[in-house]
Copies of this chain bind each other. A is one copy, B any other.
Amino acid sequence: MIVALAGGVGAARFLEGLVQVIPQKDLTVIGNVGDDTEVCGLHVSPDLDIIAYTLAGIVDPLKGWGIRNDTFVCQRSLQKYGYETWFNLGDKDLATHIYRTQQLRKGLCLSQVTAQILKRLRLRIRLLPVTDDEFQTHIVTSGRKIHFQEYMVKLQTRPHVERIVFNGSKKARPAKGVLRSIQQANGIIICPSNPIVSIGAILKIPQIRAALCTTKSKIVAVSPIVGGKTIKGPADKLMKSIGVEVNAIGVARIYRDFLDTLVLDQVDRNLAKNIESLGMKAVVAGTIMRRLTDKIRLARIVVRELE
């Protein structure tokens, strides 16, 4: 069993390759829920959906989130009721949120509902939200605390980030199966996701970091920072804001206490030595995932490191 810690778009792209290399049923993905929020009274789980939609082959390939060929008829009508509509709700996508919300209101927990959604999408991987408890990532900017989605989607990551707050992180317990999957894994992958908010939020759940530090299985991460920049999302800005070096070394430092191997892009090969001096192996590879063949090649390199 392979375990992957995952954020959104970057992780999903990597996982697309991974499921070509190992069988779906051998993969457990631990997903970030810090980005979860309520939109129009509906519970949305952006990162879980991105992963499910991508692996089900229905994701919008250009945006990397949402469903391919979706329409936005309901959203335009929601606008008439005074809703802000910066968080896009496609008509097809909306069905997932309506379903999830109803199941949660019936008393199911997020991990149960997520399992049902995966079943409906005919996926055979296990996708575990890191916690079933209340947990949200917020950004403090100009003294105001806003939800990460507002910072990311509404404000397009423009505000200066003073602080990142993980609401509920002290009380949140890992969802059922999360700790055991880490303890019993034959290998653990940290996907090329934002190390501060996506993977960072997962690591904020008490016991997760401890489980990673004590597991016997190898842990391999793929750096999401290439040539000092992120491929997608605000990881670079957030790393800078909290005073972390914006390169693969910065990533290595964040994961230092549990990481065995960091896969970094070939443009950053000059950083390999410094990374290895932190007490981990550095593997230089092509990490830019444009086509499926890129994704599979990268997944193969990572899986090889787990052995």
A170 interface residue (CB < 8 Å to B): no
Is the pair B99, A81 in contact by a Cβ cutoff of 8 Å? yes
Q: Would B71 and A94 count as touching, CB distance under 8 A?
A: no
Cβ distance A66 to chain B, nearest Cβ, rounded Å? 12
What 0/1 pattern do residues 60 to 86 of A give for CB contact below 8 A with B?
000000010011011111101111000
In this assembly, does A92 line the interface, its C-beta being within 8 Å of a C-beta of chain B? yes
Does A290 interact with chain B (Cβ within 8 Å)?
no
Q: Is A144 among interface residues, defined by CB-CB distance under 8 A?
A: no
Interface members, chain A 87-106 (any B CB < 8 Å)? 91-96, 98-99, 101-102, 105
Q: B residues within 8 A CB of A82?
A: 120
In the assembled complex, A41 has its CB within 8 A of some CB on chain B: yes
Q: Assess A40 versus B102: contact at CB under 8 Å? Given A71-B71, A71-B91.
A: yes
By a CB distance below 8 angstroms, the chain B residues around A80 are 95, 120
Chain A interface, number of residues (Cβ within 8 angstroms): 29
Chain B minimum-CB-distance residue to A41 = B102
What chain B residues lie within 8 Å of A95 (beta carbons)? 74-75, 77-78, 80-81
Instruction: Give the copy number.
Output: 2
Give the residue of B41, B76, B81, B94 whose beta carbon is less than 8 angstroms from that of A74: B94
A161 at the interface (CB under 8 A from B): no
Docked CA distance A94–B91 (Å): 10
For A82, A94, A120, the residue with the greatest tally of chain B CB atoms inside 10 Å of its CB is: A94
Q: CB of A42 within 8 A of chain B?
A: yes
Q: Are B81 and A41 in contact (CB under 8 A)?
A: no
* Contact, CB under 8 Å: B74 / A91: yes
Are A91 and B105 in contact (CB-based, < 8 A)? no
A40 is contacted by which of B41, B92, B98 (Cβ under 8 Å)?
B98
Min CB–CB distance A95 → chain B (angstroms): 3
Chain B residues with CB below 8 A from A42, complex form: 98
The answer to whether A77 touches B105 (Cβ under 8 A) is no
User: Which residue numbers of A lie inside 8 Å of B, CB to CB?
Assistant: 40-42, 67, 70-71, 73-78, 80-83, 91-96, 98-99, 101-102, 105, 117, 120
13 more A-B residue pairs beyond the given contacts A76-B92, A77-B95, A78-B99, with a C-beta to C-beta distance below 8 A = A40-B99, A41-B105, A71-B73, A71-B91, A74-B91, A74-B94, A75-B95, A77-B91, A77-B93, A81-B95, A81-B99, A81-B120, A82-B120
